[in-house]
Amino acid sequence: MSIWTPDSWRQKPILQQPTWPEAELKNTFGRLKTLPPLVFAGEIETLKASLAKAADGQAFVLQGGDCAEDFSRCNAPAIRETLKVILQMAVVLTYAGNKQVVKIGRMAGQYAKPRSSDTETIGGCTLPSYRGDCVNLPEFTPEARRADPERLLQSYFYSTATLNLLRAYVSGGFADLHRVHVWNKEFVAQSSQGRRYEDIANRIDDALNFMNACGVGPGQLPQLREAEFYTSHEALVLDYEEALTRKDSLSGRWYDCSAHFIWIGERTRQIDGAHLEFFRGVNNPIGVKISSKLEPDELVKMCHVLNPNNEKGRLTLTCRFGKDKVAANLPRLVEKIKSEGLNVLWSCDPMHGNTFTATSGYKTRDFDHIAGEIRDFFAVHKAAGTVPGGVHFELTGDNVTEVKGGGQNIQDHDLGDRYLTNCDPRLNCQQALEMSFQVAEMLRQ
């Protein structure tokens, strides 16, 4: 294989990139290259070690957040509420599922979106598609849709602000296990899911009080006071990712320091494409979204390109098949990976294969379809003797009405009430919590 450099992807065919104004892009790229990295190689390696444990079934990965972040919602309440629901889910999975939970937010950099078409035509007028806040704006005007390199720089600063607050929360006391009750929001606390959560929280309280009485408290155990939390996004816009790729001064190894974990989308995972080329050279733990379209031989090739040393924790395969395709299509991939002795972490994204348009016109997903896909995912791994190592959700801490069903039994005609996403429909706070109870049960079986 040819020599890898942070810019060797430029020699390969690339999909899903905006058409940037060259001179401006060069300028921005130069600025980004000199700015401090967002994360540090040591943290990235710690996450990789945790993912290696998850691949062995000693831990479980919970990845979640908005489909796409947007600049206008980079504020403390939005960040706090998303973190809160992820922490609640993690508590449920840890307590009821009896597993250490590796918590990864789709946060602090999830600003780029792949699109099915490069352009959009409305009333005879054709403009470039909206590609996420790091590229352009959703408004249908030529000015808004222009790919603006300045927005890459803004993405960096919004990511920095988000990450800064996340770090403050998880190390500054917000994620302290003594606060499990406080994360339960009023409108959720009243529901049956909320009460179920309260029950776990009470039992955790009891355990903490008992330990305290035995002389073991947060003073001795910072693990109780601080949570481990990581960031991730789809590394789609490679000019941005390259600019934040740095050589670790201690090990001499390359890391993409825009986030701890980055993934390749289903639309950009071509074997000879630019994204695989970029990803193969950075030492982060990485993910690839895969569907039933992927053949076993191609998957093996992909694993060899992305993880030539078969390092554990390095490669996560995130399956987004759709509820009716898991049972029929996942087993041959799982068997192939197993028989080749390849180390991967199997994760389930039950969201992206289950999107449909409701009769009301809203793009939605159904709670039961989502839960069903995870159930099938677990069943396939049980039958193969392999490890279902994690789940990947689009969720929000807000009380939105974007996904049908769940305990609130959101119906077609309810979707319009609080449909706030500017991209894919997300589990609301209550649905997310409910989902974590279901996954915890699957983990226990």
In the complex, which residues of this chain contact Mn ion (CB under 5 A)?
Answer: 67, 424
Return all residues near 196 (Cβ < 8 A) that are at least 6 apart: 437
Asked whether position 175 contacts ligand TRP by CB under 6 A, the answer is yes
Asked whether position 82 contacts ligand TRP by CB under 6 A, the answer is no
Name which of 303 and 317 has its Cβ closer to Mn ion. Answer: 317
SS (H, E, C) 120-183: EEECCEEEECCCCCCCCCCCCCHHHHCCCCHHHHHHHHHHHHHHHHHHHHHHCCCCCHHHHHHH
Name which of 226 and 424 has its Cβ closer to Mn ion. Answer: 424
Name which of 61 and 68 has its Cβ closer to ligand TRP. Answer: 61
Beta strand 125-128 with 230-234: parallel, antiparallel or unpaired?
A: unpaired
Cβ 67 to Mn ion shortest distance, Å: 3
Asked whether position 228 contacts ligand TRP by CB under 6 A, the answer is yes
Name which of 158 and 169 has its Cβ closer to ligand TRP. Answer: 169
Cβ 156 to ligand TRP shortest distance, Å: 27
Residue 268 in contact with residue 234, Cβ under 8 Å? no
Cβ 82 to ligand TRP shortest distance, Å: 14
CB atoms within 10 A of CB 56: 14
Asked whether position 277 contacts ligand TRP by CB under 6 A, the answer is no
How far apart (Å, rounded) are the C-alpha atoms in residues 214 and 429?
Answer: 36
DSSP letter at 2 equals P
302, interface contact from Mn ion, ligand TRP, none, CB < 5-8 Å by kind: none
Asked whether position 91 contacts ligand TRP by CB under 6 A, the answer is yes
Structure tokens at 141: 């005007």
Name which of 277 and 402 has its Cβ closer to Mn ion. Answer: 402
Q: Which stretch binds ligand TRP (CB under 6 A): 10-18, 64-72, 84-92, 124-132?
A: 84-92
Asked whether position 424 contacts ligand TRP by CB under 6 A, the answer is no
Instruction: Give 299-328 as a DSSP string.
Output: HHHHHHHH-TT--TTTEEEEE---TTTHHH
Options 227, 235, 259, 371; binder of ligand TRP; rule CB under 6 A = 227
Question: Sheet harboring 356-357: ordered strands across?
Answer: 356-357, 363-366, 403-404
Name which of 228 and 277 has its Cβ closer to ligand TRP. Answer: 228
Please, which of residues 195-224 interact with ligand TRP by CB under 6 A? 223-224
Return all residues near 184 (Cβ < 8 A) that are at least 6 apart: 88, 194, 197, 198, 201
Name which of 227 and 286 has its Cβ closer to ligand TRP. Answer: 227
How far apart (Å, rounded) are the C-alpha atoms in residues 308 and 55?
Answer: 17
317, interface contact from ligand TRP, Mn ion, none, CB < 5-8 Å by kind: none
Asked whether position 439 contacts ligand TRP by CB under 6 A, the answer is no
Residue 193: which H helix or E strand, with range?
helix 192-213
> Footprint of ligand TRP on this chain (CB under 6 A)?
87, 90-91, 94, 101, 175, 177, 223-224, 226-228
